[in-house]
Amino acid sequence: MQWTIKKRLSTLTISGLVCVAAVSATGYWGITSVEKATTQVSTTGLAIRNHIEAGTYNDMTREDISAIFTKRGQEQQDNVDNLALHSKLLAQRLATAREWVVDPAIQSALDEEGRVVQQYLSAADSLSKATVRDASTADSGQCVQLYRAVQGKIEDIGDQLEQSAKGAVAKCNQAGQVFHARHVCRVWIFADASTGDGHPRHAQYHSPVRLILHQVQGHGRSQ
């Protein structure tokens, strides 16, 4: 059966519209998937950064308490002020990390960590005041125990956040690869389906450029 130029153009137009619709649908799915994955990577990264900073401030509170024991006068008061500042920053960084986390298990762990941190900060404040009054009667046992508990939780949750970040990166890479593969397959499949030369579809898919050349050459032969 001979195909006129008009029929060939009509076939190309229809197949082109179908191809555009399919690619658009694939594109929307791909963009949505990749966007979701990259958002998870970003939020997990922010949670990790704030959690690491919380660990740094936790170490600073220990140094402040040690200095309060050994210093006197204005230097001691300066370290009391530093303890108050670092305690506030420790609590803030942990709260910010909790806001960025989306994994329910890690959220629960951070909530428990926050409760232990509040106990530690309360004990540190009480110890600081007792030391300023009379260092010889101040008991640091509870404060040291709570500090170690906080440090242990920071390390454990840090490992969980690291694993969560690796999983998020893997999902992001997978989403990008799947999107690219589906996009290429749909373009080639619909391009092959639009040959319109009266012959069955070939098992080997052709690119759109080769498709046009094939049809123009076929038209020339039919003249």
Residue whose pair of structure tokens reads 């969560």 in the numeric block: 164
Encode 165-208 in three state secondary structure.
HHHHHHHHHHHHHHHHHHHHHHHHHHHHHCCCCCCCCCCCCCCH
**CATH number of the domain enclosing 117:** 1.20.120.240
What pLDDT shows up at residue 37?
Answer: 67
What pLDDT shows up at residue 167?
Answer: 83
What pLDDT shows up at residue 165?
Answer: 84
What's the number of domains the chain is made of?
A: 1
One digit per residue, the tens of pLDDT, for the chain of length 223 reads: 455 655 655 665 665 555 555 555 555 545 665 667 677 778 888 999 999 999 999 999 999 999 999 999 999 999 999 999 999 999 999 999 999 998 999 999 999 999 999 999 999 999 999 999 998 889 999 999 999 999 999 999 999 999 988 887 777 666 555 555 555 555 555 555 444 444 444 444 444 444 444 544 554 454 4
What pLDDT shows up at residue 206?
Answer: 46
58: containing domain: 5-222
- Rounded Cα–Cα distance for residues 110 and 89 (Å): 16
What pLDDT shows up at residue 189?
Answer: 52
- Rounded Cα–Cα distance for residues 209 and 204 (Å): 15
What pLDDT shows up at residue 199?
Answer: 46
DSSP the chain: ----HHHHHHHHHHHHHHHHHHHHHHHHHHHHHHHHHHHHHHHHHHHHHHHHHHHHHHHHHHHHHHHHHH--HHHHHHHHHHHHHHHHHHHHHHHHHHHH---HHHHHHHHHHHHHHHHHHHHHHHHHHHHHH-GGG---HHHHHHHHHHHHHHHHHHHHHHHHHHHHHHHHHHHHHHHHHHHHHHHHHHHHHT--SSSPPPSS---HHHHHHHHHHHHHHH-
What pLDDT shows up at residue 149?
Answer: 97
Handedness of CA 130, 59, 74, 69 (dihedral sign): positive
Q: Nearest 10 degrees: CA dihedral of 153, 158, 161, 166? A: -150
- Rounded Cα–Cα distance for residues 52 and 27 (Å): 37
